Amino acid sequence: MKRKVKRFLNEKNEELNNKDYITVFIIILIYGIVSFINLGSNKSPQTFYSAFKDDSLTFELEKIDTVHHMMIFNGHDNSKYQIYTSLNNKDFTFIKEVDGSGSFAWDKKIILDRSKYIRINFLKDSTLGEVAFYNEDGEYININSIKSNSGIIAKQLKDEKDVVPSQISYMNSTYFDEVYFARTAYEYAHNLDTYEWTHPPLGKIIQMIPIVITNHFSPLTYRFMGNISGIIMIFVMYLFGKELFKKRKYAILSSLVLCLDTFHFTQTRMGTVDSHLVLFILLSAYFMFKFTREEKVRHLFLSGLMFALAISVKWIGFYGGLGLAIIYFIYMFKNKKFNIEHIVKGSVFFIVVPLIVYCSIYLLFPNNYLYTNNLNNIKKEQEKMYLYHSKLDDDHPFASKWYSWPISYRPVWYHQKLYDKDTKETISGVGNLIIWIFGIFGFIYTFFKCIFKKDRESLFLVIMFLSLWLPYIFIGRVMFLYHYFPALLFIMLCLVNLLKDIYENTKFKFIIPIFLILSLSFFIIYYPVITGVPTSKEYIDRLELFNSWIF
């Protein structure tokens, strides 16, 4: 049995066979099950009421009762309003002024007044989903009617009381940048003018796919595609490991390193677009590597197409394009193919195709900041985007410098919810230190390996990593750890490169299982921090290894 396992792991075959498909399927299945656990609730208001500034709504309760609190769901337009109460629908008492907590998020507002009527006066254009009132015993108070000052009956606000949660959490509400991206995915799905325009449309369009297919908008549907892209990355890492290191065990190791990284797990489970960006960058690099090996035009075309899709999600894809260009020029010089044919191929696949793809996506879905139904408006949108990002220099408590990213010095604290003084849920983008720190050594080793041994696989990894990391030296805008995400996957492959050579050239044969056990232990220990599982505050506080780690 031991001999069969050894033969299975050490089988050399760059092309995938049935054994590989079964192996990677098992890895993805296990990861996929874990990643979909508590990804988000599928229960969310589906009908909405739109109010204009200076509109008002009057809720008539079934009976006079002491209203303890109100649960209210913000739609794609975040709300701002004043709350009043009355016993007779004539004399109203001002309770408070409220700013909504964000698009597609629940709010709980304490009222503490004996009432028969609740009035909401809107201070800005607002969209609401469901509204529910509860007495001091936590019992739902039936609503007889909801009327606007213009006589419209707003029945949309009391038709889905079964979706009102007992607790507000990430499971039923947007958090962090989901308030922009999930909202925009909803707007694409419903052919509305889109709110988030500071990045190209493709990421939000991908995000909207489950929403359109199911005709249902919820945390589960707007986080679904990001998690799928995170899962597909595992398959691509397996492919990359097989191509780079030849043996099946290093393909398995490459995919497992990604599976066990806490940052990848957190970032791909959010309803944002970074998952798609990183997947397309990884695929573009994979196909370029295949091209330099096999010199097949289809691989060069696929590399250019994936680059086009990457920049259509976020402009960070251009950094990956820089690495691809360097690799392509090295390939041409080294193989004495710097000629018109290869210059034309490179220009078509990495300039013409990306331009067509990029502009076509805007033209197909023109409802954004400027109505991009022509090339001139697309050009204006790019100018607006550039001005926005070039001047984004606001301070942020979880911003970090590019040189601090490889050690996960300042994780991004995405969300927290305090249940009581002893329990809270928290979500933080913290890297698995076992993987990240050893990854630094992996990069150093890979760097010297490409210098002194002229190893072309190592050179490829070094170029891709540096092209995705070093450009941030020149970026003046506020930056976060998630900007390191595209480069992270290549430092993981550098790490596999190091572990492979230690295993094959030294007596430390247990280096790989020990590394995997330590990485898995870190993942399990920090699982509450990366998933939002309600946990003891004392336990979470103990995981803050450095002053810069805040969970």
Q: How far is CA 351 from CA 33, 305, 355, 358, in A?
A: 39, 10, 6, 10
Q: Tell me what pLDDT residue 421 has.
A: 86
Distance in angstroms (rounded) separating the CA atoms of residues 318 and 391: 19
Mark the ranges of the chain whose per-residue pLDDT is less than 50.
none
Q: Tell me what pLDDT residue 152 has.
A: 87
Distance in angstroms (rounded) separating the CA atoms of residues 124 and 53: 4
Do residues 199 and 187 lie in contact, with contact meaning Cβ atoms separated by under 8 Å?
A: no
Distance in angstroms (rounded) separating the CA atoms of residues 314 and 310: 6
Q: Tell me what pLDDT residue 150 has.
A: 83
Amino acid type, 470? L
Q: Tell me what pLDDT residue 391 has.
A: 78
Q: Tell me what pLDDT residue 9 has.
A: 78
DSSP 178: H
Do residues 103 and 184 lie in contact, with contact meaning Cβ atoms separated by under 8 Å?
A: no
Beta-carbon count within 10 A of 447 CB = 17
Q: How far is CA 137 from CA 110, 142, 177, in A?
A: 14, 14, 35
Element (DSSP H or E) covering residue 132: strand 126-135
DSSP 260-295: T-HHHHHHHTSSSSHHHHHHHHHHHHHHHHHHHHH-
Distance in angstroms (rounded) separating the CA atoms of residues 96 and 112: 11
- Residues 222-255 have pLDDT tens digits of 999 999 999 999 999 999 999 999 999 999 999 9
Buried b (16+ CB within 10 A) or exposed e, 138-165: eeebebeebebeeeeebebbbebeebbb
Q: Tell me what pLDDT residue 102 has.
A: 87
Do residues 290 and 296 lie in contact, with contact meaning Cβ atoms separated by under 8 Å?
A: yes
- Closest alpha carbon to 500 in 2, 4, 9: 9
Find the helix packing angle between 297-311 and 274-294, rounded to 10°. 160
Is the torsion defined by CA of 164, 226, 408, 245 positive or negative?
positive
For residue 119, report the phi and psi dihedrals to the nearest 5 degrees.
Answer: -115, 135
Owner of token pair 């540096």: 466
User: In sequence order, which residues have a C-beta less than 8 Å from that of residue 91 and are 6 or more positions away?
Assistant: none
- Give the CA radius of gyration of the chain: 26
Q: Tell me what pLDDT residue 100 has.
A: 86
Q: How far is CA 257 from CA 7, 20, 116, 235, 514, in A?
A: 22, 17, 59, 12, 13
For the chain, list the domains and their CATH numbers: 2-39+200-542 (no CATH), 49-163 (2.60.120.260)
Distance in angstroms (rounded) separating the CA atoms of residues 524 and 517: 11
Distance in angstroms (rounded) separating the CA atoms of residues 371 and 549: 42
Residues β-bridged to residue 438: none
Is the torsion defined by CA of 212, 216, 222, 227 positive or negative?
negative
- Closest alpha carbon to 28 in 235, 249, 226: 235
- Closest alpha carbon to 207 in 191, 183, 171, 231: 183
DSSP 435-488: HHHHHHHHHHHHHHHHHHS--HHHHHHHHHHHHHHGGGGG--S---GGGGHHHH
Burial of 332 (0-12, 13-18, 19+ CB in 10 A): middle
Q: Tell me what pLDDT residue 172 has.
A: 96
The encoded tokens of residue 343 equal 């210059």
Residues β-bridged to residue 131: 72
